[in-house]
Amino acid sequence: MAAKKQEKSSPKKRKQIPGNKPETHSSSSKKTKLLDSKPSNPRSTDFKKPSKPFKPREPGLDHEKQVPLSKREGRLRAKELAEARKKKRKRHYNLEQELAHLWEKMRQRNISKEDRSKLVSEALEKMKGKIPEIASSHVSSRVLQTCVKYCSQAEKDAVFEELQPHLLTLACNTYAVHLVTKMLDNASKKQLAAFISSLRGHVASLLRHMVGSVVVEHAYQLGNATQKQELLVELYSTELQLFKDLVSKNEGRLLDIISKLDLQKSSVFRHMTSVIQPILEKGIIDHSIVHRVLIEYFTIAEQFSATDVIKQLSGPLLVRVIHTRDGSKVGMLCVKHGSSKERKKIIKGMKGHVHKIALDQGGSMVLVCLVSTVDDTKLTTKVVINELQENLKDLVLDKNGRRPLLQLLHPNCSRYLTPDDLASLSLSIPSLSNKVEPDNSETKSSKVNKSGEEANSDLELDEADMNHDDGLHSVEGGKKDPAVRRQELLVQSGLAEKLVDVCITSAGELLRSNFGKEVIYEVATGGAGGILHPTLDDKLNELYEAIASLVAEPKSQESEEDSKEEHILENFHSSRTIRKLILDCPTFASTLWNKALKGKCDLWAQGHSGKVIAAFLESSDSKVNQLANKELKKLIDGGILKVPEPKVVTGKKE
């Protein structure tokens, strides 16, 4: 039994039929033996592949006659090719050494212009005919960049002419991209136009390339309005990519182009989606041309596509977008139409960068939108407001940095925000703004207004936002009452108190500053709606006394010679700010009169200071008028003080 089991378990052997031996002289039998034989190296096993035309290796083929060579001829040809490559590498190495030697001389600071031009001409002569190859080399590309920097215009034209057929290839090279951008900086209008036209058909693919996108952005920045439009329309539609002259300069907006050319909106939307998605996935979003395309995409995007783009941008990625004009609009749209989760991601992505964002023109507008929209005041205070407080004085004195502060003190004021800024704050995405449900938002905001406890109101808002997440990202702003949001961000966060302290310690500097004077004016008047008065009256009185003590300082004789030591009543900015405070803040006017100006008006009756003194008579408050009426009437009767006549407003009566 055991023997039978062993026979069953052993592999079956092929039976040999007697008298049926293979023929030894048959060619087919040799092939079968070769196939059946076990190869020594398993990796060299030939797998069955589709039949291809005969293509021998390089050494065994005569390229001129296209016939196979013998073994001996193949070895000789391989040897010749190896020697040729070796000589080429040696020549290239020698050329690099010569160019490096010339580069060390030409980039010295103490060299004369004539000697440098000779070295540059010598180097360009050596590079002639090999410039595209040298431009892509990590060693000698810097030599060529230096030569382009210092060479004559004729030599630059010669280099550009040699590089022009290879510019698209070099634009994607890590080492050559610096040379390409430098050539574009020095290019004539004709050369720049030729390069931009050569980009036709390649703009989308280059924008998906980390290096090539830099060249497209550089050309976009250097081009005029027509050339910018030429680069943009290629990203809108395949029809516009194929036919160059369909779009004129006047048709800048995508919706105008679609209506004028009668394009299918759905096909344009699909094409733009195929262009934008790879760019967003790779994170190549630092360029202004991409920001412009995103703004135009939002005008035609469907609801789910727009929300998908907002989701992809929400977070640290948005910080890289908001530095341009169109990028800041993209950032504001993400804040306005994002859900509560996405707004939290945006705020957390700004952590550590808030000060830098506030000093940027576009970034400051995103912060203005953020403090006017986001209902999660705890997170906004923790990330944004706390970082603003760290360098508060720098922000107050900066043109852009003061904007978020002024927005909290006096929201949407046309004195501090331009018409373009106000228009950008009111932008919205059509496919998302049409879904707003005003009834629900009003009822929820009224609940928030009635509730006194901060924690409960935040919970209600978060639950409401969570219910909207599945729904539609259609909320163009917060549901919380703007007055409650301002109170929490400005007063309860401690920002207002620190702001008053900065104004007290640096009152003179802020009043003399072109930008700081507006912040100190809003703080001194208590903000729009008197938001600072209930809790910070004592601090504001300290500010009034600090300004009055500056006014009480004696008039300096050197004030006309040194503008820094100019008296605060004679300075252009500070005198006008103090005059406005007298007209708009009676408490400040009485403090200033009693502490600094009473009995001294004859010293300040002329010049810029005379307008400050006359403001006591122009004030609408009767108590302020009575304070200075007796003393100032004597100066007016004596012809020392001139009271400006009231301006007559002319216009159509309603």
Q: How confident is the model at residue 335 (pLDDT cuts 50, 70, 90)?
A: very high
In a domain, residue 448? The reply is no
In a domain, residue 203? The reply is no
- The residue that leads in pLDDT, 138 or 298, is 298
- pLDDT for residue 528: 93
Considering only 12-16, 199-203, 293-297, 416-420, which range has the smallest mean pLDDT?
12-16
At 280, which amino acid appears?
L
- pLDDT for residue 243: 65
Residue 22: pLDDT over 60: no
Residue 87: pLDDT over 70: no
In a domain, residue 132? The reply is yes
Dist CA 491 CA 496 (whole Å): 5
Domain closes at, from 186, 216, 231: 186
- pLDDT for residue 107: 83
In a domain, residue 365? The reply is no
- pLDDT for residue 136: 86
Average the pLDDT over 493-512 and give the result: 95
- pLDDT for residue 102: 86
Considering only 87-96, 502-511, 585-594, 643-652, which range has the smallest mean pLDDT?
643-652
Q: How confident is the model at residue 350 (pLDDT cuts 50, 70, 90)?
A: very high
- pLDDT for residue 42: 44
- The residue that leads in pLDDT, 319 or 107, is 319
Q: How confident is the model at residue 244 (pLDDT cuts 50, 70, 90)?
A: low
What total number of domains does the chain contain? 2
* 8 A C-beta contact, residue 307 and residue 432: yes
Dist CA 183 CA 241 (whole Å): 26
**Token pair belonging to 628:** 């200075």
- pLDDT for residue 647: 54
**For residue 642, what are the contacts with CB-CB under 8 A and spacing of at least 6?**
610, 614, 636
Considering only 23-37, 299-313, 542-556, which range has the smallest mean pLDDT?
23-37
In a domain, residue 113? The reply is yes
Chain segment 147-166, per-residue pLDDT in tens: 998 899 999 999 999 999 99
Average the pLDDT over 430-445 and give the result: 53
Residue 211: pLDDT over 70: yes
Cα–Cα–Cα angle for 537, 540, 541, nearest 5°? Answer: 90
Start-to-end CA distance of the chain, whole Å, equals 122
Average the pLDDT over 573-584 and give the result: 93
Q: How confident is the model at residue 250 (pLDDT cuts 50, 70, 90)?
A: low
Domain closes at, from 170, 186, 202: 186
- pLDDT for residue 534: 85
**Token pair belonging to 261:** 């050319």
- pLDDT for residue 93: 58
What are the contacts of 584-588 at 24+ separation with CB within 8 A?
584/525, 585/524, 585/525, 585/526, 586/619, 586/621, 586/623, 586/624, 587/540, 587/541, 587/544, 588/524, 588/544, 588/547
- pLDDT for residue 565: 67
**Token pair belonging to 244:** 């160059």
- pLDDT for residue 452: 39
- pLDDT for residue 279: 95
Q: What is the percent of the chain with per-residue pLDDT over 70, rounded to a whole number?
A: 76
* Neighbour-count burial for 612-648, b at 16+ CB within 10 Å, e otherwise: bbbbbbebebeebeebbeebbeebeeeeebeeeeeee
CATH number (domain holding residue 504): 1.25.10.10
In a domain, residue 526? The reply is yes
**Token pair belonging to 578:** 């103090």
Cα torsion through 244, 430, 361, 326, rounded to 10: -10
On the CB side of 582, CA atoms within 13 Å amount to 27
- pLDDT for residue 172: 92
Residue 472: pLDDT over 80: no
In a domain, residue 541? The reply is yes
Domain closes at, from 186, 209, 232: 186
Residue 287: pLDDT over 80: yes
Considering only 42-51, 467-476, 618-627, which range has the smallest mean pLDDT?
467-476
Query: How high is the mean pLDDT of the chain?
Result: 80
- pLDDT for residue 623: 86
- pLDDT for residue 90: 57
Dist CA 139 CA 94 (whole Å): 12
In a domain, residue 219? The reply is no
Considering only 368-382, 385-399, 492-506, 625-639, which range has the smallest mean pLDDT?
625-639
Q: How confident is the model at residue 597 (pLDDT cuts 50, 70, 90)?
A: confident
Considering only 60-64, 121-125, 304-308, 423-427, which range has the smallest mean pLDDT?
60-64
62's enclosing H/E stretch is: strand 61-62
Q: Give residue 534's domain range.
A: 494-551+567-638
Q: How confident is the model at residue 52 (pLDDT cuts 50, 70, 90)?
A: very low
Residue 180: pLDDT over 90: yes
